[in-house]
């Protein structure tokens, strides 16, 4: 299988993760009007499952190092399966709540709030489990990102005018916080299904250890995540956070081929980020890899501000706050990179 053995390549994969995780929700914005986000989520779940499987059968099965995907899947013990499946159920609940917050509050707000909480919790848990990198730079970098989140929340508050808008936006923020908190747990859980030291040596000698390779872990994770949709998304379809209830019949009747393709692409983008991040974590460390990937609010805010014009009608002085947010995010990402 392909194993990253270069720090620069690993950092590049983490940057790709940041772009993917910060961009996949754009697909939701491109859906036809009236196409329920729960329908979109089914399409995304299919793409999120197929991409890791493709990478596992290619990158995860070629080369002379490590153990190929299928043999590794068969030798994994019950503990590895449990952790990967538990991570999937936590992640999918987090993600479906978070996608709802994007639908309600917009990308420029939901990402910094939700993913900011996720970043802080995830980095702390993963650093405690696998302490790699300079802790001072890691936590100063996190502090910069937290400040950016606070600035973003303040920017968002300036936009509310009508009381009904305020109530809906507050709901979006609450969902983003809940989704972000749960999102901060999944990466730690998934790491437990793989070797404690996820590096070239451990992956080259993984056969017979009962642990997953990154490719196997992500495939099991994605498959369990897809299956959990029959619980989570079925409930959300009947009890949506916004709009009218949806039905399975409506998924086929209301969605065009374009709608389904857009959701599928969103899942592929999201899964690319997840797979690359897990692969890169062996070289840069789990805490740093997760922190860089979850710095995606900067990417989402760029989309929200410059493409979707979510702050177009914001009061005077808002642009200064937006610039400050980007500066603190950039500083945080830089410090996290330097910490290794």
Residue by residue, DSSP assigns 166-231 as HHHHHHHHHHHHHHHHHHHHHHHHHHTTS-SS-SHHHHHT-TTSSPPPHHHHHHHHHHHHHHHHHH
Could you give the count of Cα atoms lying within 13 Å of 151 in the half-sphere of its Cβ? Answer: 22
Which pLDDT does position 330 carry in this prediction? 84
pLDDT at 68 over 90: yes
Could you tell me if 22 and 97 are in contact, meaning their C-beta atoms sit under 8 angstroms apart?
no
% the chain with pLDDT above 90: 54
Q: Is residue 233 part of a domain?
A: yes
Chain center to CA of 246 = 25
Per-residue pLDDT band at 160 (split at 50, 70, 90) = low
Q: Is residue 143 part of a domain?
A: yes
Q: Is residue 103 part of a domain?
A: yes
Which pLDDT does position 303 carry in this prediction? 84
Start-to-end Cα distance in the chain = 25
pLDDT at 112 over 80: no
Mean pLDDT of all residues in 102-106? 78
Q: Using CB atoms within 10 A of its CB, is residue 257 exposed (0-12), middle (13-18) or buried (19+)?
A: exposed
- Tokens 């983003």, located at residue: 176
pLDDT at 322 over 90: no
Give every CB contact of residue 184 below 8 A, 6+ residues apart in sequence. 117, 118, 119, 120, 121, 122, 125
Q: Is residue 111 part of a domain?
A: yes
Alpha-carbon span 177 to 215, nearest angstrom: 29
Give every CB contact of residue 157 below 8 A, 6+ residues apart in sequence. none
Could you tell me if 282 and 199 are in contact, meaning their C-beta atoms sit under 8 angstroms apart?
yes
- Counting the structural domains of the chain, the total is 1
pLDDT at 288 over 70: yes
Q: Is residue 1 part of a domain?
A: no
Please write the tens of the pLDDT for every residue from 75-87.
999 999 999 999 9
Which range of residues forms the domain containing residue 109?
A: 7-28+37-338
Q: Is residue 2 part of a domain?
A: no
Q: What is the CA radius of gyration of the chain?
A: 20
| CA nearest to 276, candidates 268, 114, 178 | 268
Q: Is residue 252 part of a domain?
A: yes
pLDDT at 162 over 60: no
pLDDT at 163 over 80: no
Alpha-carbon span 298 to 305, nearest angstrom: 10
Give every CB contact of residue 221 below 8 A, 6+ residues apart in sequence. 52, 84, 85, 87, 88, 91, 190, 274
pLDDT at 333 over 70: yes
């Amino acid at each position: 299988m392909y194993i990253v053995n270069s720090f620069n390549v690993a950092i590049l994969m983490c940057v790709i993760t940041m772009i993917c995780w910060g961009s996949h929700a754009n697909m939701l914005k491109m859906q036809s009007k009236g196409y329920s986000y729960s329908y979109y989520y089914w399409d995304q779940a299919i793409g999120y499952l197929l991409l890791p499987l493709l990478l596992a059968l290619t990158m995860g099965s070629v080369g002379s190092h490590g153990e190929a995907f299928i043999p590794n899947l068969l030798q994994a013990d019950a503990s590895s399966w449990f952790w990967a499946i538990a991570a999937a159920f936590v992640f999918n609940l987090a993600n479906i709540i978070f996608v709802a917050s994007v639908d309600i509050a917009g990308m420029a707000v939901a990402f910094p709030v939700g993913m900011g909480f996720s970043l802080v919790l995830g980095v702390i848990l993963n650093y405690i489990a696998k302490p790699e990198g300079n802790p001072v730079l890691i936590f100063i970098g996190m502090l910069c990102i937290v400040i950016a989140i606070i600035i973003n929340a303040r920017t968002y508050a300036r936009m509310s005018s009508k009381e009904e808008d305020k109530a809906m936006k507050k709901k979006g923020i609450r969902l983003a916080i809940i989704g972000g908190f749960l999102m901060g747990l999944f990466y730690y859980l998934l790491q437990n299904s793989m070797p404690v030291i996820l590096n070239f040596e451990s992956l080259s000698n993984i056969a017979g250890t009962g642990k997953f390779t990154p490719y196997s872990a992500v495939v099991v994770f994605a498959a369990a995540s897809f299956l959990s949709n029959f619980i989570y998304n079925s409930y959300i379809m009947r009890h949506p956070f916004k709009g009218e209830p949806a039905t399975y019949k409506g998924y086929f009747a209301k969605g065009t081929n374009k709608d389904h393709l857009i959701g599928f692409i969103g899942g592929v983008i999201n899964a690319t980020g997840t797979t690359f991040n897990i692969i890169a974590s062996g070289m840069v460390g789990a805490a740093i890899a997760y922190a860089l990937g979850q710095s995606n609010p900067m990417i989402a805010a760029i989309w929200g501000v410059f493409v979707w014009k979510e702050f177009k009608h914001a009061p005077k002085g808002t642009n200064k706050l937006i610039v400050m947010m980007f500066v603190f995010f950039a500083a945080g990402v830089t410090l996290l990179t330097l910490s290794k």
